[in-house]
Structure 1
Amino acid sequence: MPVWGSARRWEGSKRTRSRTAATDAPAPGWSPAAAGQRSRAAWSVRPLPPPGRAPHRQPTRAASIAERPRRVHCGSAARSERADQGDPMATYVLVHGAYQGGWIWKPVAERLRAAGHRVLAPTLDGCAERHDQVRPGITVATHGQEIAKLLFYEDLDRVMLVGTSSGGMVICKAAELARERIARLFFVDALALMSGERVGDIVKRAAPNDTSSITTGPTRADAEKRLFADLDPDTRAWALARYTPHPVAALEAPVELAGFWSQAWPTTVVRCRRAVNPPEAHQRRTAERLKGDWHELDTGHYPMLSQPEQLTRLLLAPVSGPGFLTGASPRCTVPGEA
């Protein structure tokens, strides 16, 4: 039989168990490690209290842990509890763009989690690790529905919804479908089309595409030399290994938005100066229509890979103070920002 503590402590515990008619079987959840952590006072023999008086209980470590404030994720009651505790934790949903997957957000997601926030970076239908599911009928609308369903089934509230590249179109549709769950929209070098517009109306390029009946995208050589050109060699190789064509209808079908642009949305627009697409005029239209905050980063189209620290600071700005719970949105300054 293993021995924990001194002989005096063991004998004292036997006498205590005898007085209380307890069995020698350990209680549920009991372990030698936990027993070894108890204080000497908790194991010492105490006289039984006089009749009519409640026994004295020494506070235990388990009790102190149980009394700590719980960190919760969503719902109006949760927001109130967070406000009372001064807990600024937010929920970020990061939506990737064309030829990408949730993988592209990895450097930013790690930083947001390290700051204490909840982060989801889903891969959209037909993309990246879900590329073997690609089929006709995948559109911006179905991708938007997918994100709206994610917010519902994960019971997410006060969501910081972030979209990059063509993911900007997706977050517009998702926000329209899940209005009450959105705290703020972030367009990171992103497209935000009006209802009826097509990507081809905004993005003009002469680069060759590999297009089939269900997917489209730049050739792998073009992706390496143009899309990922500003990344360091190791990051470029890592991204290129994960590059996949995009569902064609999600880039060629006209966007359908019934009421997105007629509503007010707290918004941040981040333009990447070294990227040709989306054009600056298009991104400024987004900021002006939504009365959003405007920021610029001196990098290419993939700031989550080339400047993850700077981009993370921009995403954290609205939750860096009490404004997250009140609806205010403080600005922040990033090195290299205009």
Structure 2
Amino acid sequence: MSFYKAISICLLILFIIPQTFAQKDSRQTYVIVHGAWGGGWAFREVDSLLTQKGAQVYRPTLTGQGERVHLASEKVGLYTHILDIVNTILFEDLHEIVLVGHSYGGMVITGVADQIPDRIQKIIYLDAMLPENGESVFSMSGGDESRYQIENGGIIPAWVKGGQAPPKDVPHPLKTWKDPILLQNPKRLEIDSYYILTVEAEKKPEEDGFARHAARAKEKGWKVYQLEADHNAQWSTPVELTEMLFEIGGE
């Protein structure tokens, strides 16, 4: 081997290869948790748009939802869903993630942050529930299960009709709405946290169904964003939502 060739190989090892891995490791990693009745499929377009920007995206489906609907049972509770996401992060060996929760997903990401705060760089609540210790979906909403159509331990969404082909919303495990969240780790409060309130055109922010959760975030000193969209911004305004998620992730 010539002297110059040896020098070239050394330079490759010392400079070029480390820079390549550094660039790979510097990608923003998003873990997106969907809302009730949905599935990871609901964020497919947002995933694609974030990936085009160079981000790495995971959008796991919660037990009993989406393509995992065959696992639905009356035993599926809030902590089943929290562990779905905790284990995704641990088994994929993810670090410094941007954890996003939509709607009911706010319950889940709050529990995840309590269990593994060291893996999370930022938390984004997307028109989501923001619970305090001991609260449940029903306790925050004043909900009564008698208001809903329930079969085999699942809350059936009124907009889903028989014979619809996937992808589609499916019954959501009732127990997940009844279980109170238990928050015991103060380190979750050290994570940079943000709230995105989606407000439909020509409506006032305070009229939105999740306005009080956004107000709670503001009281905590979090930065609160507003996006003109309906509750499912991942479908109605995916480009604008992606830009906002990417902007927050890069702050």
Give TM-score scaled by structure 2 length. 0.83
Q: Say whether residues 1:118 and 2:50 are aligned partners.
A: no
Aligned to 2:219: 288
Q: Unpaired segments of 5 or more residues in structure 1?
A: 1-53, 73-80, 223-236, 321-328, 330-338
Q: Say whether residues 1:246 and 2:172 are aligned partners.
A: yes
Is contact 2:196-2:225 (8 Å) kept? yes
Shift of 1:313: 1.2
The separation in 1 between residues aligned to 2:75 and 2:181, in whole angstroms, is: 13
Is contact 2:113-2:188 (8 Å) kept? no
- Equivalent residue letter for 1:160: V
Give TM-score scaled by structure 1 length. 0.63
Aligned to 2:239: 309
The separation in 1 between residues aligned to 2:69 and 2:235, in whole angstroms, is: 22
Is contact 1:172-1:260 (8 Å) kept? no
Shift of 1:109: 0.6
Q: Within 5 Å, give how 1:94-133 maps onto structure 2.
A: 94-133=32-71
Is contact 2:63-2:81 (8 Å) kept? yes
- Equivalent residue letter for 1:196: G
Is contact 2:73-2:173 (8 Å) kept? yes
Is contact 2:217-2:224 (8 Å) kept? no
The separation in 1 between residues aligned to 2:49 and 2:19, in whole angstroms, is: 22
Shift of 1:221: 5.6
Cα RMSD of the aligned pairs, angstroms, is: 3.2
- Equivalent residue letter for 1:270: I
Choose 1 or 2 for highest CA Rg. Answer: 1
Is contact 1:108-1:309 (8 Å) kept? yes
Q: Say whether residues 1:270 and 2:196 are aligned partners.
A: yes
Match of 1:202 among 116, 119, 140: 140
The separation in 2 between residues aligned to 1:97 and 1:153, in whole angstroms, is: 22
Q: Unpaired segments of 5 or more residues in structure 2?
A: none
Shift of 1:217: 3.1
**Per the alignment, in what secondary structure is the counterpart of residue 169 of structure 2?**
coil
Shift of 1:124: 0.7
Shift of 1:212: 2.3
The separation in 2 between residues aligned to 1:262 and 1:129, in whole angstroms, is: 30
Shift of 1:278: 4.1
**Per the alignment, in what secondary structure is the counterpart of residue 263 of structure 1?**
helix
- Equivalent residue letter for 2:223: D
Is contact 2:36-2:105 (8 Å) kept? yes
Aligned to 1:323: none
Number of residue equivalences: 240
Aligned to 1:49: none
Shift of 1:128: 0.8
Shift of 1:263: 2.2
Match of 1:147 among 74, 85, 107: 85
1:306-331 CA distances to partner (integer Å, 9 max, x unpaired)? 111111111111344xxxxxxxx3xx
